[in-house]
Chains A and B, each alone.
Chain A
Amino acid sequence: MDLLKNITEATTEIFETMIMLDITVGDPLEENVSSFKCSVSGVIGLAGTCKGMLAVHAPDDVAKAITSSFLGMEVEEVNDDVTDAIGELSNMLAGNIKMVLDEAGKDVTLSIPSCIYGEEYSMDCVADAEWVVVPFTIDAGTFLVELQIKSA
């Protein structure tokens, strides 16, 4: 399973077709990042014959830029529109990853997305799972897409 390729393709496709922002893909991180400041994180669980989680971590400015472009309106602060948009982004990405996994013979279903935001928080995944974190850059800055997955 080429997680890196799957994440890159899914994210690029969603930004091209749904969010309409130019993005640049960076090299996958060698160490996972778990501490975030003034950021918004969308998280969704994957369950079934594979289980895991997918998360999107965006600094406030990046989250606002994504939301503005997605909804076609200016967003001034991290409000419900922003948390809904970032939650929905994680949902769409996980939906895309689910299709790839299903095609590979896995049977995966998604939980509901949740959105975390704040001045200072950490997020750790306790599963002993395979993981990949890929940075993507838009004009407003860089956000991360994280996928953790293991066979059930």
Chain B
Amino acid sequence: MDLDLQKQIIDSTQSVFDTMLMLPMTTGTALSEKVYNFKDSISGMLGFAGDIQGMLTIHCPQEVAFAITGALLGMEVDEVDEDVKDTIGEMANMVLGGIKEGFLEHGIQINLAVPTILAGRSYRVSGMDDATWTTVPFHLDEGQFLVELKLKDRKNR
């Protein structure tokens, strides 16, 4: 598969930030290790299926989630409420929507499920280990968030 997953994640996330959030953001390089542990964070998860199956997850520390929500809605946010959860779910939708377009240019079609939002003081997210993980960190003034794309390995290719 000549699909550059890191580039797909970066292009789509950058585009969402440029057009929807107008927040300055810098992109890091893909992590070589999986991250499982999250504290005082919010994660938006969105599954997809079709020519390939997988899951996209955006993991944000609370402060980063507040900044993103504040920028999107144009208001101050300081607690994990419905607005914050909706925003992080919608972010997952928008970022995966962009990746879906990118996949389509490579002739790969996917359909999206519905977003699920995790939040909490301390939780871990594990995936099936027979999946390919690509995790890219992005930085805002308030901190770093991760965009993680897991794809099921395709046996027939």
Contacts and interface: CB of A to CB of B under 8 A. Distances in A.
B55 interface: yes
Chain A binding site: helix, strand, loop or mixed by DSSP? strand
B46 interface: yes
Interface string A105-132: 0000111111111111111111101000
Contacts, number: 137
A47 B111 contact: yes
A80 B111 contact: no
B53 A112 contact: yes
Contacts of A59: none
Given A47-B113, A51-B114, A87-B128, A110 B53 contact: yes
Contacts of A111: 47-49, 53-55, 113
A146 B120 CA distance: 19
Contact of B89 (A119, A120, A126): A126
Interface residues of B, number: 38
Given A110-B53, A124-B116, A126-B85, A117 B124 contact: yes
Contact of A112 (B90, B120, B128): B128
A44 interface: yes
A114 B45 contact: yes
Contacts of A87: 126-128
B114 A114 contact: no
B112 to A, nearest CB: 6
A150 to B, nearest CB: 7
B117 A152 contact: no
Interface string A36-61: 00000001111110011101000000
Nearest to B54: A112
A45 B49 contact: yes
Contacts of B122: 118-121
B114 A148 contact: yes
Interface in B38-52: 45-50
B137 interface: no
B126 A152 contact: no
B126 A83 contact: yes
B47 A53 contact: yes
10 contacts: A43-B116, A45-B114, A51-B113, A109-B50, A111-B113, A112-B150, A121-B121, A124-B119, A125-B116, A126-B114
Given A119-B121, A122-B117, 19 more contacts: A44-B47, A46-B49, A47-B50, A109-B111, A111-B48, A111-B53, A111-B54, A112-B47, A112-B127, A112-B151, A113-B128, A114-B125, A117-B123, A117-B126, A123-B116, A124-B89, A124-B116, A125-B117, A152-B111
By Cβ-Cβ distance, the 9 closest A-B pairs, closest first, are: A45-B47, A111-B47, A45-B113, A121-B120, A118-B123, A109-B49, A127-B114, A47-B111, A121-B123
